[in-house]
Structure 1
Amino acid sequence: MTNNKKKAMTSAVATLLSISLLAGCSSNGGNNAPNNGQSTDGGNNGANAVTEAPVDPTAKFDPPIELTVGVGIGDPIADEFTEEKWENSEWIKAYKEELGIIIKPLWYTKGGDAAKQKMSVAIASGDIPDLIGVSQEQLASLSKTNLYTDLTDVYEKFSTPLTKQIITEEGNTALESATFGGKLIAIPGTNSAIDGASFLWARQDWLDKLSLPVPKTTDELYTAMKAIVEQDPDGNGKKDTVGLMLNKDFLAPGVAEALGLFNAFDAYPKAWVRAADGKLVYGSAQPEVKDALAYLNKLYKEGLIEKDFGAKDSGKAAELAASGLVGFNFGAMWNGMYPMQQTKDNFPDSNWLAYPIVSKDEKPANPQIKLNVESYFVMRSGYEHPEAIMKLINFWTELNYGDTTQEEFDKFLGPAPAPGHHYAVAKAWKAQKNLQAHLKVTEAFKTGDASKLNAEEKGYYDNIQKYKDGDNANAQFEKVFGETGSFRYMNEYVNNNLFKMDEFYGASTDAMKNRLKTIEQAVIEYYTKVIMGSDSIDNFDKFVSQLNKLGLEDVTKEVNDWDAAK
């Protein structure tokens, strides 16, 4: 990459990455030290390597070095992907030409399960490539081996200021999650935690028709839902409208969920929150959830949510939006693209808008979020140039968030035939990239000057302009990034520091691995029964006792042991 850097276009919703680095067989050759699966210094050879390396984060390796990786191939490009495309992509070429890093793929796997299995075998055998991208669970397993390099000094000396800013944009939690025994054993490939926050999506056209205010409290929301069900806002003469879209997995963030509604009552299901005594407790088992369950039970009894919601996944539940029959939805910032765009496609006069989640009182509610690290990048112990990982990530951050030319953007991250972000070997996403895109796009519309927008932002700007000119197919860009988009209230969440962060960000404890899935299943079953009236809130203490017997007591102890030790 040249010295002129430019922010590049990335996906508005970067939830799925198709290419990930995986563990696998080692390779000897080039400038790499032999890999015998053991470290001569207890996994702490990074400092020595860095001492001898030039302290220049952007310096090209000369002569070039070889770096072995394993490649996992997944949706959405698995079908069109070929090994030849990857090995000859602009990313792999640039790594060699501009960084002096020759990437050597050891294998390719397709599908998440195959990739995980390959990883497990590699770690268990002690035979891994020079660079691997792992999950938090796999990182915990690696921390108990001598396979990794301590990257503490590597990160400090070889991160550009921009890379450090990006990795710590949401605090030091990401780095802490990659630290074991005081050693930074991986570089976290960060993503946005705030983009997982819940919003209240409302059919503003129906609120206007029924002369209803935008709900700010749970009481106002109930009044609005009741009116939508009883006053025929779609004007078809039938009582077929639904107040709130809900799916059977309503504790999973995304669409047709209920997390935002629980948060309205200061309840945080599936999150670890700090109690008054300073200990961490499991949000699903705290008494605050009872008020939320009572509220949902009321909605259910009065027919404000579908009677068969418990049989519908999020996709099926979202069909209510496409059919134009639902007034409210709790969901993520991207719901303006799906499923709300389908409403606009089928009902051109419809108008979904996002608002902050409601609150039980006049105080703003706190939307829950959790640490979002897409992958942890580990360098094999004994590899001569562990600083290579930082050069790869620096390359990514400068391309995406620095100043580059349009030509460079198009080559790496533009429309086809550009390979896109899926082909990058290592990356760290900016947590507030989408929020900043919204702020810059809306400012451009206010001033009439779009010259300061990068290619991604200009794409949003152009599509919003098309919508303003009458192209309803582009309503989705306005509903997320525009002046009336979800990010206008994301900005309020950020400015008012409203997020409730999950306090546990470590690898699964032993009890979690064995029991948490059963606990979570028991939670959703009890919650669903209470909402549908086949169980009672009066049994809440009995329910919590059952969770403890299922292992919650042991999990809680281990979580607090982790909290005390970190």
Structure 2
Amino acid sequence: MNNRKYASAVVGCFSSVALLAAACSNSGNSPANSPSSTDSKNPSAAAAAAGPLGKYSPPIDVRAVRGINGSFKFPQGEDISNNLWAKTYKEEYGINLTYDWVADNSGGNESAYNKKLNLMIASGQLPDIVAVNSKQFKQLAEDGKLADLTEAFEKFATPYTKDVAKQDGGMAMSSATINGKLLAIPGFNGNITNANVVWIRSDWMKKLNLPEPKTMQDLFAIMEAFATKDPNGDGGKGVIGLAANKNIYDGFADLLGFFNGYHAYPNGMWIKDDAGQLVYGGIQKEMKPALAKLQELYKSGLIDKEFGAKDAAKEAELFGQNKLGITFGANSNPYYPFDDARKRNPEMDWKAYPIPSIDDKPARPAVGFPISTYYVVNKNFKHPEVVVKMFNANFEKFFGKTGDWNTWGVTKDRLEAFKWPFVYGFPPDKDVPGRYEALKKAIETNDPSAMNGEQKADFDAYQAYKNGDQTKWATVRQAGPTDSSFAVLNHYKQNNLLYTNEYRSSLQTDTMTLKWSTLLNLEKEMITKIILGASLDEFDKFVENWKKSGGDQITKEVNDWAANSKK
């Protein structure tokens, strides 16, 4: 994994479809509810925690269970229990971490890990610390199995860890708090890197003397110019204004950003209506004008006539063929597909822009709720603060003043070492404004001395690009001070433009589990039909069918969740 892409994919490493070579094993440790052996031998160990980053003396034993998958890579001779982070826990922090069992966590809620953990929870057993999903967290909290971490967090979290907890406005910590008690430490992660931007062929804009887009109308004008004024110099053969693909929503050739420009929120987004109730964005009236315009663009030849038969990878071939000029997509698009296309077309350049609006209200890019994992502690464990100390280690080693991402996160022989800690998360501000502002300041002052390892890599890449190294183009277009996706994301953040899904749970409701994939497919089919020329009445038929096919029941369940989450 390229270390510039991992932030938006960290949640994905919990659910990789890659299979673990050895699905699960049992170490034969003591029963899950028995006291820690260190506790019985060293009753004063809790008093020797030595502060947020100090070493337990004497050491303490911490028992856990863990889910891993085939994306984990270790140097030869190392494994999940014997690696850089396992040794650091023991040698630097006095934490002897052992796993009662390890299981494959690919497959999400149906993974071997979750199935085995559910059986453990049902039997009333719990290790000292465990990573759980939202449903498991709620069940354990309701059963009174969890330690209250409120005091432990206040006393043992470093200033940096406390800052991380505030970076998303307290959203993650709030989701881990029940009846005023902090019952888990969330696996922190930012949602800003999931927001779409608009990528435009800036070399074509320059060639055609086109102004930068401020509104949707401006964007339509650029699409038309690209499709009719021969920007690629081949005599006007087949240039397409806007990328799209049959999946409708994807990392690029993605139409979600287009809908957001019309203040419409499909693709699983729940929004609040005027009465404060949660409603599904994909069935609201704002969808219709966006659909009508997409149909018009398609009829005018500004959208690929074959988009309905192409997935994103197939549509990406048009980039390399010099036939696409605009796409809504991810901050990482400079790495793929643009970098590959530039190898065939070295003169090609792309710049990122904020999603424009169809009216005088700013467009708000849709982002999902970023927390899928919670770290909880058995209420009988004598050292609840240890999970806080482990998070302190995570943030300090990766991003703190003494940290070095190139040692603890990504190195030549430890490509994905950031996955090895038992607890881990990423500061919501790590990339934006973190990396973005750090690079901008270092360039302005020509002084990278205050940068951490990951940020310094951005600075080195920027300097190399300015000196003619085209292999660093993707880094500059993602993280650079201007014309980059991070610059756009920073604009979103500064202006409070992100629209976070109001259904802030990583789990589906009961009816979602049965019906959601079908409903989403109906949505995509409806959008495709209308773009290809079907009557806009198809949208009204879709809404009616959506409601009858489980949508109304899901809406009730989502609002029940919202009411219960306030308790």
Which one-letter code corresponds to 1:346 in the other structure? R
Structure 1 residue ranges without an equivalent (≥5): 1-8, 37-48
Residues 157-191 of structure 1 deviation map (CA, whole Å, 9 limit, x = unaligned) = 33222112112211222123233455433211111
The answer to whether the 8 Å contact 2:50/2:56 transfers is no
Determine which structure has greater relative contact order: mean sequence separation of CA pairs < 8 Å that are 6+ residues apart, divided by chain length: 1
Alignment of 1:148-227 (within 5 A): 148-180=146-178, 182-227=180-225
C-alpha displacement of 1:29: 5.5
C-alpha displacement of 1:255: 1.5
Alignment of 1:125-140 (within 5 A): 125-126=120-121, 127-140=125-138
The answer to whether the 8 Å contact 1:210/1:233 transfers is yes
Residues 203-231 of structure 1 deviation map (CA, whole Å, 9 limit, x = unaligned) = 01111111211222222222211221122
The answer to whether the 8 Å contact 2:226/2:240 transfers is yes
State yes or no: 1:14 paired with 2:4.
no
Which one-letter code corresponds to 2:494 in the other structure? N
C-alpha displacement of 1:494: 1.2
SS at match of 1:354: strand
**CA RMSD, aligned part only?**
2.9
In structure 1, the residue matched to 2:51 is 56
The answer to whether the 8 Å contact 1:244/1:305 transfers is yes
Which one-letter code corresponds to 1:63 in the other structure? P
The change in CA–CA distance for 1:83 and 1:521 in structure 2 (over 3 A counts) is farther
SS at match of 2:199: strand
SS at match of 2:193: helix
C-alpha displacement of 1:492: 1.4
Deviation larger for 519-528 or 15-24: 15-24
C-alpha displacement of 1:200: 0.6
Deviation larger for 62-71 or 549-558: 62-71
SS at match of 1:171: coil
Could you tell me how far apart the structure 2 residues matched to 1:81 and 1:141 are? 38
- TM value normalised by structure 1: 0.88
SS at match of 1:415: coil
Which one-letter code corresponds to 1:518 in the other structure? T
Could you tell me how far apart the structure 1 residues matched to 2:159 and 2:382 are? 24
Deviation larger for 148-157 or 340-349: 148-157
C-alpha displacement of 1:412: 2.1
In structure 1, the residue matched to 2:478 is 480
C-alpha displacement of 1:11: 4.4
Q: 389, 394, 414: which one pairs with 1:396?
A: 394
C-alpha displacement of 1:239: 1.4
The answer to whether the 8 Å contact 2:397/2:403 transfers is no
SS at match of 1:170: coil
The change in CA–CA distance for 1:321 and 1:61 in structure 2 (over 3 A counts) is same
C-alpha displacement of 1:403: 0.8
In structure 2, the residue matched to 1:69 is 64
C-alpha displacement of 1:296: 1.1
Could you tell me how far apart the structure 2 residues matched to 1:481 and 1:317 are? 25
SS at match of 1:202: strand
In structure 2, the residue matched to 1:98 is 92
In structure 2, the residue matched to 1:508 is 508
Alignment of 1:303-452 (within 5 A): 303-404=301-402, 410-418=406-414, 420-435=417-432, 436-452=434-450
The answer to whether the 8 Å contact 1:191/1:374 transfers is no
Which one-letter code corresponds to 1:66 in the other structure? D
State yes or no: 1:261 paired with 2:258.
yes
Which one-letter code corresponds to 2:7 in the other structure? A
The answer to whether the 8 Å contact 1:33/1:384 transfers is no
Could you tell me how far apart the structure 1 residues matched to 2:286 and 2:516 are? 21
- TM value normalised by structure 2: 0.87
Could you tell me how far apart the structure 2 residues matched to 1:345 and 1:35 are? 60
Could you tell me how far apart the structure 2 residues matched to 1:158 and 1:236 are? 64
Could you tell me how far apart the structure 2 residues matched to 1:282 and 1:265 are? 16
In structure 2, the residue matched to 1:548 is 547
Deviation larger for 440-449 or 114-123: 114-123
C-alpha displacement of 1:550: 1.0
In structure 2, the residue matched to 1:297 is 295
Could you tell me how far apart the structure 2 residues matched to 1:89 and 1:132 are? 19
The change in CA–CA distance for 1:293 and 1:55 in structure 2 (over 3 A counts) is farther
Structure 2 residue ranges without an equivalent (≥5): 16-22, 37-43
Could you tell me how far apart the structure 2 residues matched to 1:301 and 1:424 are? 53
Identity across matched positions, percent? 36
C-alpha displacement of 1:82: 6.5
Could you tell me how far apart the structure 1 residues matched to 2:194 and 2:27 are? 37
In structure 1, the residue matched to 2:533 is 533
